[in-house]
Structure 1
Amino acid sequence: MPSDALRDFLTEHGFGPDEVNGRNGDGATPLMVAARRATAALAQELLDAGADLDAENADGNQALWLACVTENIETIELLIAAGIDVQHVNATGATPLMFAASSGRARAVARLLAAGADPLFETGLGLTALDMASTFECLSLMRAAAKRPAAGG
């Protein structure tokens, strides 16, 4: 049974009070909205209530991408620990790491790299997150990660 805080959150964002896998006009689920606008505790409650970790919005983004928008590190870590795909590719061929790097979100970049996100994964146009780095800090983090030997290699 959802807590009062979760029911209030769901209602405030246009979902039914028990609709943990509902969709809004952008195709976002409550978990996606929580990843961007709420606490990790609320995101955890949604996961505990059966929220779909793999759901995608209209742009093909999952909750991890939206947590990166606000650099909600606690939620990023929660989603990674829950098993979200750090290498998920959205409708435009981009990964959460590409977004974080291109928008200068170094704390998100560091956490995604620590979780195994690939700085050298290429889009259909041949661009990588390393190519997209918009700040020196993001570039430095990804250069260091790109130089590390691959896991198991």
Structure 2
Amino acid sequence: MTEESTRTQSGQAPANPAAGEGGQAFTREQVEALFINAAREGDADLLARFLEAGMDPNLRMEKGYTPLILAAYNGHGDAVRVLLDRGADPNLKDEKGSTALSGVAFKGDVALVNMLLAAGAEVDAANAVGRTPLMFAVMFGRDDVARVLLGARANVLLRDGEGLNALDLAQRQGNGALLQDLKKAVGVSA
């Protein structure tokens, strides 16, 4: 049967069973947008279906965001687990050089920090201005996250683009308790 003979009386091809609304097939860009949105919204079941259908768990979208970066930043543990279990790379960076671990350290989600570290996330991955996940945790008062990162051997003495390290940042924040923990980690006496 030719394509011409399969057209309906209206001149349209019959609806594709895998098509979107109105019988129109989704474009690749639309499918990718739906996949990324499922990550952003934390729809683990939909993510799993996309991945089973062959979507790349390391797809990069606008600003270099990956599904893992978006799911982690938005605190969706089930979605993060699905992505990691299906090959998402925890060390991919967005356009600003931030990894999923950096975003989670900023947000303060200890469970996701542990999940990403267990999946091989680089504890000292610095962004484009030299800030590490530990620095983000210190800057934003995420003491529990900072302590988990210290336990994972985060380097307290790395310096960012301004020449500051985690000790400097804790002192600047007036966070005496965390400053003491950071000093202990590098063997500096109080």
TM-score by length of 1: 0.79
- Aligned ranges 1:1-150 → 2 under 5 Å: 10-12=36-38, 13=40, 17=50, 18-133=55-170, 134-136=173-175, 139-148=176-185
Q: Which moved more, 1:18-27 or 1:62-71?
A: 18-27
Query: 1:90 Cα deviation (Å)?
Result: 1.0
CA–CA distance in structure 2, aligned partners of residues 130 and 61 of structure 1: 21
135 and 112 in structure 1: CA distance in 2 versus 1, 3 angstrom threshold:
farther
Task: Provide Cα deviations, 1:52-98, integer angstroms capped at 9, x if missing partner.
Answer: 12100011011101111221111100111111111111100111111
Q: Give how far 1:117 is off.
A: 1.0
Higher relative contact order (CA 8 A, sep 6+): 1
Runs of 4+ in 1 over 6 A off after TM superposition: none
Aligned length: 141
Change (3 A) 1:39 1:144: same
Listed as ranges, the gaps of 5+ residues in structure 1 are 1-7
Distance 2:181 2:119 in 1: 26
Contact 1:100 1:109 in 2 (8 A): yes
Relative to structure 1, the CA distance from residue 20 to residue 140 in structure 2 (aligned partners, 3 Å threshold; closer, same or farther) is same
The 8 Å contact of residues 97 and 119 in structure 1, kept in 2 or not, is answered as yes
Which runs of 5 or more structure 2 residues have no equivalent in the other structure?
Answer: 1-33, 42-46
Work out which of the two has the higher radius of gyration on C-alpha atoms and give 1 or 2.
Answer: 2
CA offsets per residue over residues 118-150 of structure 1, 9 Å max, x none? 2222234431111112242xx422422323467
CA distance in 1, matches of 2:132, 2:185: 20
Q: Secondary structure at the match of 2:126?
A: coil
